Amino acid sequence: KQEVTQIPAALSVPEGENLVLNCSFTDSAIYNLQWFRQDPGKGLTSLLLIQSSQREQTSGRLNASLDKSSGRSTLYIAASQPGDSATYLCAVRMNTGFQKLVFGTGTRLLVSP
C-alpha cells in the first residue's frame, strides 16, 4: 500500500528565504506526482504536476523535482513571501489503481514579513 510522507509537518521562515519541502513515497510505481497548495478552509490549487518520466517542473518561483527510484520529491520555493503561507500537499497517482491520488498529510508553511 502506497504511503506518502511529508516532512516537516510545519515550517516557519522569514520572508526572502529559499526553502525546500519534502515528499517521500514508499512505492515507486507511480504515474505522476502533483503538488498542491491549500489555504485555510479553502480548496486545493494545483501548483505543479510531474510525470514519472520527468525529473523536474518549474513555475515561476516554484521548482519541483522527482526522483522516482528513491521515492522522493522536493518542492523548492525561491525568495519566499508572506503570500506563500499555506499548507502544501503532495499526491501521487499510481500506475495501477490510478483512479485516485494518494495524499501526504502536508507541510504547513508560515512566511513572516
Partner 1 sequence: EAQVTQNPRYLITVTGKKLTVTCSQNMNHEYMSWYRQDPGLGLRQIYYSMNVEVTDKGDVPEGYKVSRKEKRNFPLILESPSPNQTSLYFCASCPLAGGTYEQYFGPGTRLTVT
Q: Binding of partner 1 at residue 37 (CB under 8 A)? A: no
Q: Is 32 among the residues that bind partner 1 (CB under 8 A)? A: yes
59 near partner 1, rule: CB under 8 A: no
Assigned C-alpha cell, 51: 510525470
Residue in 30, 36, 64, 71 binding partner 1, rule: CB under 8 A: 36
Residue 21, SS3 per DSSP:
strand
DSSP 3: -
16 by Cβ neighbours in 10 Å (0-12 / 13-18 / 19+) ranks as: exposed
Q: Which of 64, 58, 62 is nearest to 92 (CA)?
A: 64
Please compute, for residue 46, the number of CA atoms within 13 A of its CA located in the half-sphere on the CB side.
9
Question: DSSP for 99-112?
Answer: TSEEEP--EEEEEE
Q: Counting contacts by CB under 8 A, is residue 13 touching partner 1? A: no
Which of 80, 104, 107, 111 is the binder for partner 1 (CB under 8 A)?
A: 104
Q: How far is the CB of 19 from partner 1 (least distance, A)?
A: 22
> Of the ranges 20-28, 46-54, 59-67, 69-77, which one interacts with partner 1 (CB under 8 A)?
46-54
Residues 63-102 that bind partner 1 (CB under 8 A): 89, 91, 93, 98-101
Task: Give residues in contact with partner 1 (CB under 8 A).
Answer: 31-32, 34, 36, 41-46, 49, 51, 89, 91, 93, 98-101, 103-106
